[in-house]
Amino acid sequence: MSLPSPRHVFANGPIPVCAGIGLKFEHIREIIETTPAVAWLEVHAENYMSAGGPSIQALEEIRRHYPLSVHGVGLSIGGAEPLDRAHLERLKRLVERFEPGLVSEHLAWCASGGDFLNDLLPLPYNEEALATVIAHVDETQDALGRAILIENPSLYAGVPGSEMTEPAFLNEVARRTGCGLLLDVNNVFVSASNLGFDPCDYLGQLDMGPVGEIHLAGHHVRPFGDQVLRIDDHGSPVSDDVWALFGRTLQSTGPVPTLIEWDTNVPALGTLLAEAGRAEHALSSISPRGGRHVAAA
């Protein structure tokens, strides 16, 4: 018999159409002790893949009180090589153990030749990459027995070999695999600024039906000559520009579960909760969209 498992009292059900926050190790104890009023939490899948230990035990405790979303950063959905079966199996066990309301991964690659590069590297948007991503999303959804969400990346530059726009690429992935989309509004803003396109054009081209979750985060602004390069470091408050773009996005999507991500220079829990409160205010001021696609399990 293993340690008593509280899974039978998990706070189950879909992720509510409210604001959530990313769960950081620094806040785990405080969240267990104070159970703050936040609608849901999201974790990086790879941080909870050990065999056991206090982190896993803490997440099981937290899971009793909060709906949970699992966000993978290591599957290399866009990798030209076959998916790492051992890693997919780890993800499957994690999903079985914690029964998350949403499971998501990235439109990116992060491994080559057996080496994991710990970064979300950009893809060329062309037919070969599209076929690769579609095959890997299909394989992942088959293995997990559920739909996943795919997140748009942040880009520093155009990738050689690209032949279509990112929204066109994502629309096709969603249409052909049945996956949902995780729309990272900060990433849209960062990529638009770095590559010189209009973020509103991007939003206009993206099918909003499959959008099942929104991410908001802060980014770093690095001067480059008389211009700036925006770096998606999740290390500061959401910028005013991104809040504005979030508001415009909600006009198209209607209310969608929205996450505040803060992964570096992690502040006090109260700061994240305040950001989530601001997102909640925006969500509650938008009326539901008719017939919105729901990608949640």
Partner 1 sequence: MLPLRDLQQSVRDYVLGAQSSSIAHSFQSPIVPAEDVLAIHRNNFRASLSEALGSIYPAVENLVGETCFNAIAGRFVERHPPDSPVLSAYGDAFPEFLDNQPSLSGIPYLGDVGRLEWAWNEAFHAADALALTPEELCQAASDCWDDHGLILHPSVRLVASGYPVSRVWRMARHPGEHPDEIDLDNGPEHLVIVRPRFEVTVTAVDPGTFSLLRALKDGCGFHAAAEAALKTSPEFSLEGSLGSLLARGTFASFTTHPEDPINDGLS
**Site for partner 1 contains 119 (CB under 8 A):** yes
Nearer to partner 1, 7 or 293 (CB): 7
Q: Which two tokens stand for residue 203?
A: 């939003």
* Part of the chain binding partner 1 (CB under 8 A), chosen from 155-163, 177-185, 272-280, 281-289: 155-163
What distance in Å separates the CA atoms of residue 246 and residue 262, rounded to the nearest whole number? Answer: 17
> CA angle, corner 89, sides to 7 and 24, nearest 5?
55
Query: If binding is defined by CB under 8 A, does position 46 make contact with partner 1?
Result: yes
| Site for partner 1 contains 112 (CB under 8 A) | yes
Write down the least CB distance from residue 71 to partner 1, Å. Answer: 12
* Distance in Å, CB of 17 to partner 1, minimum: 30
Q: In 10 A of CB 48, how many CB atoms?
A: 19
Under DSSP, the state recorded for 46 is: G
> What residues from 212 to 251 belong to the interface with partner 1 (CB under 8 A)?
224-225, 227-229, 231
Does 126 participate in binding partner 1 (rule CB under 8 A)? yes
Q: Which of residues 48-107 bind partner 1 (CB under 8 A)?
A: 48-57, 73-75, 79-81, 84, 86-87, 90, 93-94, 97
Rg (CA), the chain: 18
Q: What is the DSSP letter of 122?
A: P
* Chosen residue from 12, 14, 28, 47 binding partner 1 by CB under 8 A: 47
Q: Is residue 89 packed enough to be buried (19+ CB in 10 Å), middle (13-18) or exposed (0-12)?
A: exposed
Q: Which amino acid is at 50?
A: S
Q: Provide the minimum distance between the beta carbon of 188 and partner 1 in the complex, in angstroms, as a whole number.
A: 17
